[in-house]
A and B are shown apart, each in its own frame.
Chain A
């Protein structure tokens, strides 16, 4: 943050809320940073000569005669290759005891890519998890969140996915991360010997919630440096976006804005889109892929946060515990990768989409059978076969502990179809059944 030779100091606050302060000041520009009693703040509103500042660390203990000075520019991050392997806080300052990063100072939260300059994502990101690779294939340049209840192991799955994905850089944006989870990420990255390709921006639960609002912008500014300047494939992990949205609602509430659904600000959709749309496949080979976590309240996806997210992201991966097998599975009904058809059957075997659809359809039949069973009805032979199939399918394909190649997933699919069904019950094109079917 540049220091100017002469900086006017203001010492009279007109109003203080839990997240904002207001004062009379002149020549202030929109979005610029300020320091309020040593805490970082940002201009969010001006009206006449009254300026409202959002104080990231909260306003506890700030007096009406607090010292306020303006920096003259919005939040920035110094970018260079020195970012690699480092851990930073929400302001982009090192928290790993290392030296400050030297590099070009860039504004965070910058402009978006011209849609015309984008390229269509077409590179598959294999994860080894069949619930993802087979049913919801990921593509570089995609943005997709995990929807999971807080008790699901989403951070572990995300770390697995990140370490298995073939990318040049992994950028972690941790918002409201518990200290344990922060250390978990740090240790998994270290253990995998991947630390040098990882950059982390972390706000833990011990730090003020409003600070979180800076994390995605910081992480994505770093990502853009590697993807745009260095033409690298960058994977950005954002966890947990629900806590980010909560911080948004705190600020808008303190500014007396009329809330819309679920007491979220009316601009939630645009606020989230600004982050997720940074995912891009660039013309010169660089790409930014975003995998995020949105925690749910008891699986409720109609809440404003997951709902708006779902409309922005290119699908979602839904984790749930399967009571029949005791496994955590990637739910095939509620998960979706919107970009999967860009690679399925193109970068993978031709039978991919039909095997996927048949697999899920039969699993749906099993769910119907289960409902019948629960309602105390007799099950038909087909119902029983579906239930058997569902168990195999959950263990061998849907479970998150699966780690196999995509061809193997397809072959497993055909093997399960042959074990439990007749060819015509799968509804697959005859030509593919003849070529890949495993019926004797």
Chain B
């Protein structure tokens, strides 16, 4: 029998409910408002009073309105058809909603129940299986979508029967399993999983083994992110955070992209679903949207669903990872999620932590980041969830609780910097403050040795050192003046500018420069480091500056030209001519 209750207090979207029976933490309930059911989640229980956060506007709600508890937590619906969908934070399909405005209490089904899928069995009757084992597959777009033993199944099962290859909808029983106690359980193509619980169902979670290419030089070469790794991008507004994230989404070397727009601008979501169907995935030649799922809780949508949106997104990622896929999750922005937690904690009159955030913020964030990772599945195949979150630090100050907590949890740090953005040095990732812990991983070092060339990481570190030295020289020049320093200072400074302008900066909107494959990155870095290794003679710093500007210009023109094209060679020749003008 379900538990019922009555509303006894309302402050914005925090509602107090007097209950007549047992309720669980995080249990869902419906609040009945003139025939509309408003979904809410229990966040605190005190005696017979439950505090629930409502995922909708509470306008018009009255004390005494009735509440029905559902006996389950917030769950994601998992099955074929998730890709190219656009969901809200509670996984309602936004594309099937009627009307221009969102209607309160309108909940739509995440998956199409009519659509027939071409099912091919993988397992056969008599096979012993456990949760997350593959029973069969359907083609979702061009991707093999595995139909698995539901994650919630405990213990081992024997397959009693499984349907032959054919077309079925997601509600068809495709297999019957016999449990250890002889109980027979039907399995369809869909399953449910509570979003706040990490999906296990894999054998082990080893350290990351390889990097995930993004086509962005400042990431792939300078601070690569591992497949199954974690990274975060903090930055003040206007530093190109969104452009950078969209570039990663377009170009990231992953089978599946899940984008969680969490408390961000609606027009950014519109940009994704307007442009992605047109864009071609550089790795497969297919439309980007076919491998993309969007979860959006834009900033004007109900605050409580913001938190749910990132968890829903992560659960979908883990689902595809269990099929042996490489999934990339981008969440923009985790600060908005933290703010949603803060609003709620504030309304519950909890004692606040730093900046009025709840005290367990750090634990919540690191717990979430730990759900990413590469895993070895029960059948020995691997899958990965790579997670990159953005953080929107208040006032651009990185010494704030969300940034600090995230820094402890994420392995890559891409520091977007106001100063660089002001100078239009995009992507505005500060090459000195940013880091990738993966460059220290022996697994990654040997992977890069094999993939690019032996000693690659040393080369990268060398380039980083040159940038750092250039910065030191710039400081000296600023203090002592152009004439007050030896010529070598100018030369070192301009060599670092060379790396910055010709390598780190990249035009995300340019068709050619926007995507730079790893082999081209190596080619350009070699070219640039070779110039940096040489010594040049200048009569004065003016000449030094003018000469380096010409070198930079030639290299940038190369970046804008198709690799190996006539134009590319033309500018390469031009570069060699400029270089030969100066001494050695």
Residue ranges of A at the interface with B (Cβ–Cβ < 8 Å): 26-32, 44-49, 73-74, 107, 110-121, 141-142, 228, 257-261, 266-267, 269-270, 273-274, 277-278, 280, 282-283, 301-304, 307-308, 310-312, 314-316, 333-334, 336, 338-339, 341, 353, 357, 360-361, 364, 371-372, 375-378, 380-382, 424-425, 427, 429-430
Contacts and interface: CB of A to CB of B under 8 A. Distances in A.
B178 interface: no
Interface stretch (B58-66, B147-155, B212-220): B58-66
Given A120-B271, A316-B238, A360-B424, A46 B10 contact: yes
A116 B60 contact: no
B279 interface: no
B10 A267 contact: no
Interface in B1-16: 8-12, 16
Contacts of A267: 12, 303, 343, 346
B503 to A, nearest CB: 15
A112 B300 contact: yes
A104 to B, nearest CB: 15
Number of contact residues on B: which range applies? 35 or more
A32 B60 contact: yes
B59 A74 contact: yes
Given A74-B60, A315-B238, A364-B423, 5 more contacts: A29-B61, A111-B103, A260-B355, A277-B298, A310-B236
Given A45-B11, A380-B545, A266 B343 contact: yes
Contacts of A31: 58-60
Contacts of B478: 371, 375
A208 B181 CA distance: 72
Among all A-B residue pairs, the 9 with the closest Cβ atoms = A302-B395, A273-B299, A277-B300, A310-B237, A377-B481, A116-B94, A260-B356, A31-B59, A47-B9
Contacts of A338: 238, 242
Contacts of B102: 111-114
Contact of B553 (A228, A257, A341, A424): A424
Contact of B267 (A49, A118, A302): A118
B104 A111 contact: yes
B550 to A, nearest CB: 6
A381 B352 CA distance: 57
Contacts of A45: 9-11
A277 B342 contact: no
Contacts of A307: 237, 394-396
B395 A115 contact: no
A19 B271 CA distance: 42
B339 interface: yes
Interface in B457-487: 478, 481-483
Nearest to B347: A257
Contacts of A357: 424
B296 interface: yes
A266 B342 contact: yes
22 contacts: A30-B59, A47-B8, A111-B57, A112-B300, A112-B301, A113-B101, A113-B266, A114-B100, A114-B102, A116-B94, A117-B100, A141-B267, A258-B356, A261-B355, A267-B12, A270-B343, A277-B300, A307-B237, A312-B299, A316-B238, A378-B483, A382-B545
B336 interface: yes
A361 B397 contact: no
B422 A334 contact: yes
Interface of B: 8-12, 16, 57-64, 86, 94-95, 97, 99-104, 236-238, 242, 263, 265-267, 269-271, 273-275, 296, 298-301, 303, 336, 339-340, 342-343, 346-347, 349, 352, 355-356, 392, 394-397, 422-424, 478, 481-483, 509, 541-542, 545-546, 549-550, 552-553, 556-557, 560
Nearest to B349: A258
Nearest to A31: B59
Contacts of B60: 29-32, 73-74
Contacts of A303: 395
B295 to A, nearest CB: 11
A373 to B, nearest CB: 11
Contact of B265 (A30, A73, A260, A314): A314
B394 A261 contact: yes
A260 B424 contact: no
A44 B397 contact: no
Interface centre among A26, A111, A376 (most CB of B within 10 A): A111
Nearest to A47: B9
A46 B9 contact: yes
Contacts of B392: 311
Contacts of A228: 100
A269 B238 CA distance: 17
B101 A110 contact: yes
B372 to A, nearest CB: 25
Contacts of A372: 481-482
Contact of B298 (A32, A115, A429): A115
B284 to A, nearest CB: 25
Contact of B556 (A308, A375, A376, A427): A427
A311 B10 contact: no
A424 to B, nearest CB: 5
A311 B424 contact: no
Contact of A283 (B63, B100, B271): B100
Contact of A269 (B100, B263, B346, B395): B263
A336 B235 CA distance: 15
A27 B60 CA distance: 10
A115 B63 contact: no
A425 to B, nearest CB: 6
A140 to B, nearest CB: 12
Contacts of B57: 111
B101 A378 contact: no
A315 B242 CA distance: 12
